[in-house]
């Protein structure tokens, strides 16, 4: 039996990952440290909150006394670190919390891990979850590889890049058993309503204008969250210490094509007699400052080294995602609310 500390397990990817790890690995008990920020939801933990191998701890990753206590109390042998401030627009308006949580929070976890694991004969692994946004922006051609130099453009991506560098340094300097994965845009159930795909669905169903930044031509590479969990599983268990892998969906779409696709599916799933075609609600809005044009990730390294590639066809993943949000937004009466844009 092993105890894993997972941070951010009440958020989007963390909650999907806890569900996945509890199902796939019967020998793990998961200690889930989450401060329950605005982006978290108790509902995201519905399937595992009372699971006998899940322990929820409400707390902040910047609280070093708490983090150190958790390592000792639960004899932690592995960390998967998701907790972060994750919304680029918020980082433009209020960068300070991004530096605190993403940089200082990661530092606090690394320090606790170093203190607890140094000199110990216990197994250890520190898996840091990061983003392809650390690489900056691509033009029409090419892909980010693990060799692409870091060039973050938003306070969010700069804070993630900083945390990646700290993780790398703890491996190089102290020999901490770290791995880093940089993934592309995830989609699937449990994402906060402020993010792009939930926003398109929510605004369409509410009959409100669907905001699309700039000319809508910005391209993102969409990765289904369960495929991401499988990649994390492989890297966490099989990668060598200090390794660094990109994780992508092989699935590039411009924001406007994504919005049109979602509207077309909603026309089939929830036809609106009063509103007509949902795509009529699409409204181009002033572009995000420093908006990266294109992200696209090469997955050659993880495919060759660990045999991982995404399995979920976009049509399948999108249908699961739509079904979840249609139900979720109606159940929680969220179709009249104004929630942060895009
Ligand atoms: N969502 C994506 O498409 C995407 C893409 C690339 C990388 N990532 C990375 O994956 C990780 C998870 O992203 P997500 O989309 O699930 O984020 P999210 O915003 O949905 O969830 C983040 C979770 O972290 C918790 N949290 C925030 N600050 C905390 C703190 N100080 N202490 C403890 N808990 C705290 C929140 O309460 C929340 O439950 C992040 O590190 C993010 O940078 C996400």
Over residues 276-326, the pLDDT tens digits come to 899 999 999 999 998 999 999 999 999 999 999 999 999 999 999 999 999
CA of 280 to the centre of ligand 1 (A): 32
Neighbours of 9 (CB within 10 A): 30
Instruction: Write down the pTM of the prediction.
Output: 0.96
Q: Is residue 337 over pLDDT 70? A: no
> What contacts 133, CB < 8 A, 6 or more positions away?
88, 152, 153, 154, 156, 157, 160, 292, 295
Q: How far apart are CA 182 and CA 245, in angstroms?
A: 6
Q: For residue 8, what is the DSSP state?
A: S
Over residues 164-195, the pLDDT tens digits come to 999 999 999 999 999 999 999 999 999 999 99
Confidence of residue 92 (pLDDT cuts 50, 70, 90): very high
pLDDT score of 122: 84
Q: How far apart are CA 320 and CA 324, in angstroms?
A: 6
- Catalytic residue list contains 132: yes
- Catalytic residue list contains 123: no
Query: Considering only CA atoms, which residue is closest to atom 21 of ligand 1?
Result: 11
The CATH class of 2-187+224-247 is alpha beta
Query: Are 299 and 250 within 8 A, CB to CB?
Result: yes
pLDDT (mean) for 221-250: 98
Q: Which of 5, 6, 7, 8 to mutate to test the pocket of ligand 1 (most atoms within 8 A of CB)?
A: 8
Most distant pair of Cα atoms in the chain: their distance:
68
- Catalytic residue list contains 133: yes
Q: Which of 5, 9, 10, 13 to mutate to test the pocket of ligand 1 (most atoms within 8 A of CB)?
A: 13
- Residues touching ligand 1 (Cβ under 6 Å) are 7-8, 10-14, 33-37, 39-40, 60-62, 82-86, 101, 105, 129, 131, 160, 183, 185-186, 192
Q: Out of 28, 116, 135, 156, pick the active-site residue.
A: 156
C-alpha radius of gyration, the chain, whole number: 20
CA of 119 to the centre of ligand 1 (A): 31
Q: Are strands 78-81 and 126-131 parallel, antiparallel or unpaired?
A: parallel
Q: Out of 133, 164, 221, 227, pick the active-site residue.
A: 133
Q: How far apart are CA 192 and CA 15, in angstroms?
A: 12
Ligand 1 atom closest to the Cα of residue 160 is: 43
Query: Are 6 and 55 within 8 A, CB to CB?
Result: no
Q: 44: which strand partners?
A: none
Average pLDDT value over all residues in the chain: 95
Q: Is residue 207 over pLDDT 70? A: yes
pLDDT (mean) for 4-25: 98
| Domain positions in the chain | 2-187+224-247
Query: Considering only CA atoms, which residue is closest to atom 11 of ligand 1?
Result: 82
Q: Which of 6, 44, 48, 82 to mutate to test the pocket of ligand 1 (most atoms within 8 A of CB)?
A: 82
Q: How far apart are CA 66 and CA 325, in angstroms?
A: 35
Confidence of residue 342 (pLDDT cuts 50, 70, 90): very low
């Amino acid at each position: 039996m092993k105890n894993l500390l997972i941070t951010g397990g009440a958020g989007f990817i963390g909650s999907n990952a806890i569900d996945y790890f509890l199902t796939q690995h019967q020998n793990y008990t998961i200690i889930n440290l989450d401060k329950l920020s605005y982006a978290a939801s108790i509902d995201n933990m519905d399937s595992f909150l009372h699971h006998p191998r899940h322990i929820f701890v409400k707390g902040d990753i910047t609280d070093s006394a708490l983090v150190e206590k958790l390592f000792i109390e639960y004899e932690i042998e592995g960390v998967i670190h998701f907790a972060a401030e994750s919304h680029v627009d918020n980082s433009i308006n209020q960068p300070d919390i991004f530096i605190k949580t993403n940089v200082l929070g990661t530092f606090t976890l690394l320090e606790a891990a170093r203190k607890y694991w140094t000199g110990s004969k216990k197994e250890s692994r520190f898996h840091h979850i990061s983003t392809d946004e650390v690489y900056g922006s691509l033009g029409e051609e090419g892909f980010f590889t693990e060799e692409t130099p870091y060039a973050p453009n938003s306070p969010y991506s700069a804070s993630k890049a900083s945390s990646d560098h700290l993780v790398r340094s703890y491996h190089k300097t102290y020999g901490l058993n770290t791995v880093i994965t940089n993934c592309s845009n995830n989609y699937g159930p449990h994402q906060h309503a402020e993010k792009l795909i939930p926003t398109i669905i929510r605004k369409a169903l509410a009959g409100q204008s669907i905001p699309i930044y700039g000319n809508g031509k910005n391209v993102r590479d969409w990765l289904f969250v369960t495929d991401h969990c499988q990649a994390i599983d492989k890297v966490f268990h099989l990668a060598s210490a200090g390794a660094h892998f990109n994780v992508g969906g092989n699935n590039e779409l411009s924001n406007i094509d994504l919005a049109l696709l979602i509207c077309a599916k909603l026309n089939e799933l929830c036809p609106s007699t009063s509103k007509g075609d949902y795509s009529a609600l699409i409204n181009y809005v002033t572009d995000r400052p420093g908006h990266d044009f294109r992200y696209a990730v090469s997955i050659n390294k993880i495919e060759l080294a660990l045999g991982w590639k995404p399995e979920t066809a976009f049509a399948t993943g999108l249908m699961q995602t739509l079904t979840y949000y249609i139900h979720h937004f109606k159940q929680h009466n969220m179709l009249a609310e104004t929630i942060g844009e895009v």
